[in-house]
Each structure stands twice: as structure tokens, then as C-alpha cells.
Structure 1
Amino acid sequence: MVGTTIEWFDFFIYAICAGLVFASQYFAALGEDALLLSFATIGISFFFRPVGAIIAGHLGDRIGRRAMLILTLLLMGVSTVLIGLVPTTASIGVAAPIILVLLRILQGLSAGGEWGGAALLAVEHAPADRRGLYGAFPQIGVPIGLLLANGVLALVAGLTTAEQFLAWGWRIPFLASVVLIAVGMFIRTRVSESPVFEEVRQTRAQSSMPIVPLFRNHWPLVIAGALMFAANNAVGYMTTGGYVQSYATRTLHLDRSTVLIAVMISAVGWLVSTLAGGWLSDRYGRVRVYQVGFVIQLAWMFPFFALLNTADLGLMILALLLFSVGLGLTYGPQAAFYSEMYPTRVRYSGAAISYALGAVLGGAFAPTIAEALQTGTGTVYSVAVYLAAMTLIGLVTTVFVKERRGVPLSDEVARTQ
């Protein structure tokens, strides 16, 4: 959980700053398209997530989960600190946005490999009847990372003037990541390898090329996992990708610090609902909890934007809190569900690639699409239609996925589709 929190803190401060800072400091020459391109740089990194997932999945299924977690943490941390040192376009010209995008790509590679290892290490250590709850702990690293990212940026924004924040204040969270790297490395180097993977290693049953049997025998599961996560990720990236923060400050003219604090409060709600989702999936099944979460997500989509448009802080917090309920129920069971989908020899590859592809299909350009829809139609409700459609895709997909709660994780017999 701590390592995943650090990973996503690093990932999210970029996404939030894309809406608040980078458009004016790195892409201002593009005029009205600056914000769209700034959001697009969030999406570009997503195309490198599957690459990171394939590399980390291959090595994770070959040499172990723990080694990959250490590697991905280092890659994310170093690239984040370097982002905080990139001069603006006013200083070095076109080289500035190019360097920024290259470092964001490194973040994407790390994020693609991180989740699978964290999820498997938690779930493969868990008792069979508590995998959902154990697996929810790396999941809550996301809302905690969002909470910390918004909290630190809100603190910096509150202690600096608007000019100071844009000039240098935004860099502080990126540079402070060096401390978090040290904490994460201290913890991850002391975590034991997954007992399920150790069993496979001792019998020399690892696959020499895990991706081949994965796509030969389990490709329907890879697609189903990707579609379910896409439905969750597109909606989640309204806050984690910075769209809500940008919309509230630029269109509704709310104070930057106020908006960041509202998102922090919603992150606490997301944390609680994610833990609840994992726990409930141990009692009622992964598929059932997913379906309830998607229905809630769908039902709240239009009321969410209606309350947001009031520009009232209390109603905005209420909207975000209830928005987080469906997100948590479709995110909490994910680590356990995806771990139970695949046999050990291809589990890291399968879980990581499903996750990475879902991120590309869902979150990659969700803020960019949302901004384009809002600008093109003149109403934020067009964004609600887009998110409702994504949610429906996830809900329909769950109908075709088998419940796998409690299956033996050490069983190397391929799961039936």
C-alpha cells in the first residue's frame, strides 16, 4: 500500500498540474489549444503502460513480483523528480515540452508494471477467504496518492501567490518525491516474495515467454479485464486526471485551493468505498460487487455534474463523495478478481496487461475527451453521456465473466473461459 501510494502520488501530481500549470508554462504558444494538448500529454503516457506491463509481467513471471516492484518504484520516483527540474518554454523553448513528455512516458512505463506486482504480492500472500480485503490495500494507494497530491498542491497554493505558484511553487511536490522514494525502497526491500510464486520457481514451472500462453489460452479474459477497468478508469480520471479541478477553476471560477481540498475530501470517500468493495467481494463475490458499483456509477453521472455546476462548495463535496462510491466498488475487488483470473505462470502478465490496456481505453484521453466535448457542445452534460456509455460497457462485460472467488491460486490448470 505504501509503495503504491508513492507511485500514484508521483503520477497524479503531473495529471493535476497538467490542468493547473503546464498549459500556461509549457504549451502557451498553442493558444486556445494549450489546455487540450496539456491534457493529451497525460494520455500519451498511457500508450506506454502496456509496454511497461509486458516488460514487468515477463520479468515478474520469470524472476518474481518483489524485484519488479522495486524497479518500478525507482523509475517512477526518478522521472518525477526530474519533471520538477524541467525549465519552462520561456527558458529553453520547444525543448521544454519535449523533455516533459519524455519524462511522462517514463512514468507511464512504471505505472504499467507497478499495479500487477503490487496486486499479486498482496493477494498471493492472503488467506483464500480474505483476498478481496488484502487486495484492496494496494488499491487504496490510488485514493491516498490522490489525497496526498491534492493536499500538497493545496498547501503550496495556499502559501504562495498565484504568480509564485506558477513560477516555482508547483515544483515542490515533484522534488519532495525524493523523500518518498527512500521510504518506499525501505519497505519494499523488506517484503518477502510471494509464496505462490516461490512454489512455481522451486518446481521450475515458470514460462519462458509468459505472454505467448497468455494470449493463446486466456485472451478473452485479457479483453474482459481491460473493458471492466476502462469503465472504472474513464470515470476516475475526471478527478485523478485533473479535469474536474480544471473545470471548477476555469469555468466555474472557484478558488484553486478550495477545489483541491474538495477533491481531497472525495479521495477519503474513495478510500473507504474501495476498502468496502474489497471486503464485500469476499462475502458476495467479485462480479456482484462490480455490478452494483457500475449501476451506482451510472445512476449518479448526471446528478454529479448538476451539483458541480451549482459552484457551491458543499454541494460539490457531496457530488464528489457520492461519485466515489461507485468508483470504489468497481476498484476495491480488482486486485483479487484479476489475480484469480489467471494461473501463476502468466498471472503477472495477465493482470498487468489487462490493467494497462484498460487504462489506455479508459483513462488515457478521458480528460482530453471531456474537455473537447464540453468545448464543442457548450455543455458539461455531454461529458456525462460519454462517461455513462463507458460505464455501460463495463456493466455489460461483467455479465460474461465467471465468478472466481476462492479458486486455488497455486492451481496451474488453465481456467476455463
Structure 2
Amino acid sequence: MAKSPQGPLPADPEHPKGSLKRVITSSALGQFVEWYDFVIYAYSAAILAKLFFPKEDPVAGTLFVFAGYAVGFLMRPLGGIVFGLLGDRIGRRTVLVIVIVAMGAGTMGIGLLPTYQSVGVLAPVLLVVCRMVQGFSAAGETVGSNAFVAEHAPAGKRGLYTSFTYSFSTLPSVVASLFVLLLTTGLGPETYEAWGWRIAFLIGGPMALVGLYIRSRVDESPVYEAAKAAKATAEAKHVTIEKTSVRQAVIQTLALAALSSLAFYTISGYMVSYLTTGAKLPQSQALLTNGIALLVAVTCFWLGGALSDRFGRKPILFSAIGATIVLYLPAFWLAGLGHMWSALIGQLIIAIIFGLYWGAFGITVIELFPTRNRVSGAMISYNIAYTVFGGTAPLLATWLIARTGVLVAPGIYMMVVAIIVFILVRNLPETSRSNLLHSDDRAPVSSGAAGATE
């Protein structure tokens, strides 16, 4: 057994099963609400471009909307710093309550905004402000929820439980695409443009209130409480607790999150636009095939998490990275052929690869950091990567195709990123059997104490 100089580590604290079920339910539903509010903007890009920007140049309007999409991501590093530090200082649960309220307010705000025709340039300015609120709050959701679940879960099922709740960040993309499809076909183009599009944003408020109610009824993470108590004990005894370096964890999280974010926001934030404008696929077919692919990705989340519990995080992550290098470009080419079935097959290949990747990724970046700076370290790194790579994915993909004339240019970009990520994480430690209470999370214990090892 690996021991620290002060003795073996204590086992991860656990809550009763009933408490764990409430935590999983609250985190899953909270992630769904949070990310529905965030992604509905992307699925409404066409109507937002038409109503909030001048009509003279439709292409420019679309680019401006995607630029607004990216602006939301510019707030994520700031949100990551604020919510990350708060999560480690005042607790995971309190931060998760704050972020869901902020996201609901930003989303409802978009649904209530006047259009360009009514107030001119003030309309896109207000749209960007609401998008910034969304981006700021979104920074605290995924890492906060994943850490909350992981710190409640038994060690042998951390990957499965975390991947299950994490998958609910993808389901909103499915619901949003189908909901927009339902609104556009059910109301008709004229009614949808007049006021129907607002429905998709306005329901974000009530959903946030439901999430708020659920999250206010769960207990704080037992691992966080144990680390907090250990710190207080050590400070009272004037003990200096050893500090491990988190620099390597930060670099590895940045790299893993770069690939994760680029894939997620390509398939959920850009793919429908790519299929309709680049591949000339009817919008209904683009939305349908994208929704099916994302549903498959959700099930692969769970499989990836469960497999990472059984075989380790590294085999799943590295297999998915290798598959990206080999298969992503052919899959992207298939999706762009302009036929419904080729679009579906191409997206399914991407969804399976990254569903497995996300299933192992979500828990890995939590396990890399000690409890005392887990949320801040993982959240700041995660959100920087998601800003640089995820936030620019739709805009950069549109620009690459326009600049090169090559429809699969975004696929080439993804392959290059995957190769770089593989190089950066080749020495990734295996964390599936690790104790979430790292050596620098605890007060000294006697050498004869029973416990788990890292």
C-alpha cells in the first residue's frame, strides 16, 4: 500500500443510500436545466440572427449570432474563478444553487428582449448581456455537479454515477433541437418568428426554480466536509499539511477539456448549422439526425463511466482519442454528403466515440485534484479550455469552411487537436482506484489507523 509519511489515508466518507439518490437526482436534473438554458441559444441561432441584427447580410447575421455564442464563453473563465473558489470555500451545494438561479434569469431575459426592429442596436447589446450572464453561471455547473456526485459516491462506482449525471448536460441538446423543431412545425414560420421562438427561452425560468427547489434539499459533500474538518484540526494544532503540486493536473485537465469541449460544441452547437448550410440538408432532417446522435451519446456516457470503473480511466480515454484521430474525419465527411442516412451515420460515429470519452473524462478531472482545491483547480482549467475551444467551435468551423472552401476543414482541425492532446496527456495517472481525500486533504492520523490508499 502507498502511504504518506503520516500514515495511510482514511477511506472516502459516504452518505446513506437515500442521500446519495437525492444527490444524483438533484445533480442530473440541475445539469439538464442549466444546459437546456445554455444550448437553446445555439438552436435558435437562425431566428436570433434574423431578429436581432440587420437583415441586409444574412451570413453576417449568422456570424454575429455565433460571435455572441462565443462571447458567452468569454465569461466562463471569470465564472470558473469565482464559483471555483467559492465551491472550495463555502461548499459545493451553495454554489450549485447560485448558478442555476443565475442561468434561469439570463435565459428568461433573452425571451423577453425587444428585437432590432423595435430598439435598433440596443437589441443585440442586450442579447450579448444576457448571453454573458448565461456564460458566467454555466462556468459553475458541470465541474461543480460532477464533484458533488463523485464526493458522495462509493469509490467503485464513481465513474458510473458521475457519468450518469454528466450525461444530463447532453440531453438538453436533444430536447432543445426537438423542441425548436416542434415549435417551428407546430406554429408555422410566421407565428414562430413573431413570438413562438420566445417560448423556448421563457420556460428556462420555471425550470430553474424546479432545480433550485431540488438542490436546496440535499446535503453537502461528505468528502468536502471531511477535508474541511481536517484543515480546521490541523490549523488548531499548528500542523503544516503537505501540499502536492497541481500543475500537472491543471495541464492535463486543460488538454482533456479542450478535446471534450471542441467535440461537444461541434456536435451540439454547430452540426445542425453545418448540415443545413454546408450539406444542404433540410432543417427537419438535420435536427432529427442530430437528436438521435446525441441520444446515443448519452447512453455511451454511462457505458464509458462504467467501463472506466472496471478497466480504468486511461484505457477508455486513450481509446477514444485514438478513434478520433483515425475516424473523426471520415465521419465528418459522411455527415456532410447531403443525405439523411449518411448524416446520421457520420454523427453516430462521432457520438459513440465522444460519449465513451465524456463518460471517463467527467470523473477523471475530478479525481486529479485534492479536495481542498478540487473545484477551483478543475473548474478554472475546464472553463478556460471550454472558452478557447468550445466557445469558438461554431464560429471557427464556419470561418474555416468559408476561408478554405473545404467542407471537412473542421474535421481536420479536430484531428490535429486530438494528436496534441494525446501528447500532452500521455503520462496521465490512473485515478480510478484513488482516494478522493488526497494526502494534503487530511489532518495527520496515527500509523495504525485503518484506511484506503491513493
TM range (shorter): over 0.9
Question: Counterparts of 2:415 and 2:233 in 1: how far apart (Å)?
Answer: 41
2:358 aligned counterpart, secondary structure = coil
Question: Counterparts of 2:267 and 2:42 in 1: how far apart (Å)?
Answer: 9
> What is the aligned partner in structure 1 of residue 371 from structure 2?
344
Asked whether the 8 Å contact 2:150–2:158 carries over to 1, the reply is: yes
> What is the aligned partner in structure 2 of residue 26 from structure 1?
52
Matches within 5 A, 1:315-394: 315-394=342-421
Asked whether the 8 Å contact 2:255–2:385 carries over to 1, the reply is: yes
Tell me if 1:225 matches 2:233: no
Q: What is the CA-CA distance between 1:367 and the residue it aligns to?
A: 0.7
2:359 aligned counterpart, secondary structure = coil
Q: What is the CA-CA distance between 1:193 and the residue it aligns to?
A: 0.8
| AA of the residue aligned to 1:106 | V
| AA of the residue aligned to 2:49 | A
Deviates more, 1:273-282 or 1:217-226: 217-226
| AA of the residue aligned to 2:54 | A
Question: Counterparts of 1:182 and 1:109 in 2: how far apart (Å)?
Answer: 18
Q: What is the CA-CA distance between 1:129 and the residue it aligns to?
A: 1.1
Q: What is the CA-CA distance between 1:413 and the residue it aligns to?
A: 2.6
Asked whether the 8 Å contact 1:196–1:344 carries over to 2, the reply is: yes
User: Of Structure 1 and Structure 2, which has the larger fraction of its residues in helix?
Assistant: 1
> What is the aligned partner in structure 1 of residue 114 from structure 2?
87
Matches within 5 A, 1:2-401: 2-18=29-45, 20-28=46-54, 31=57, 32-205=59-232, 217-241=245-269, 243-401=270-428
Aligned residue pair count: 408
Asked whether the 8 Å contact 2:372–2:441 carries over to 1, the reply is: no
Question: Counterparts of 1:309 and 1:7 in 2: how far apart (Å)?
Answer: 30
| AA of the residue aligned to 1:180 | M
Question: Counterparts of 2:117 and 2:103 in 1: how far apart (Å)?
Answer: 26
| AA of the residue aligned to 1:300 | L
Asked whether the 8 Å contact 1:157–1:257 carries over to 2, the reply is: no
Q: 1:38 to 1:203 in 2, by over 3 A?
A: same
2:143 aligned counterpart, secondary structure = helix
Question: Counterparts of 1:206 and 1:111 in 2: how far apart (Å)?
Answer: 34
Point out where structure 2 has 5 or more consecutive residues left out of the alignment: 1-27, 236-240, 443-454
Point out where structure 1 has 5 or more consecutive residues left out of the alignment: none
2:140 aligned counterpart, secondary structure = helix
Q: What is the CA-CA distance between 1:34 and the residue it aligns to?
A: 2.1
Q: Extract structure 1 runs of 4+ deviating beyond 6 A.
A: none
| AA of the residue aligned to 2:47 | V
Tell me if 1:402 matches 2:442: no
| AA of the residue aligned to 1:62 | R
1:291 aligned counterpart, secondary structure = helix
Superposition CA RMSD, Å? 2.1
Asked whether the 8 Å contact 1:344–1:412 carries over to 2, the reply is: no
Question: Counterparts of 1:406 and 1:43 in 2: how far apart (Å)?
Answer: 37
Q: What is the CA-CA distance between 1:371 and the residue it aligns to?
A: 0.2
TM-score, length-normalised on structure 1? Answer: 0.93
Question: Counterparts of 2:294 and 2:386 in 1: how far apart (Å)?
Answer: 19
Question: Counterparts of 1:387 and 1:344 in 2: how far apart (Å)?
Answer: 32
Asked whether the 8 Å contact 1:9–1:145 carries over to 2, the reply is: yes
Question: Counterparts of 1:101 and 1:26 in 2: how far apart (Å)?
Answer: 10
Q: Percent identity?
A: 33
Question: Counterparts of 2:233 and 2:313 in 1: how far apart (Å)?
Answer: 28
Question: Counterparts of 2:266 and 2:228 in 1: how far apart (Å)?
Answer: 41
TM-score, length-normalised on structure 2? Answer: 0.85
Asked whether the 8 Å contact 2:162–2:362 carries over to 1, the reply is: yes
1:405 aligned counterpart, secondary structure = coil
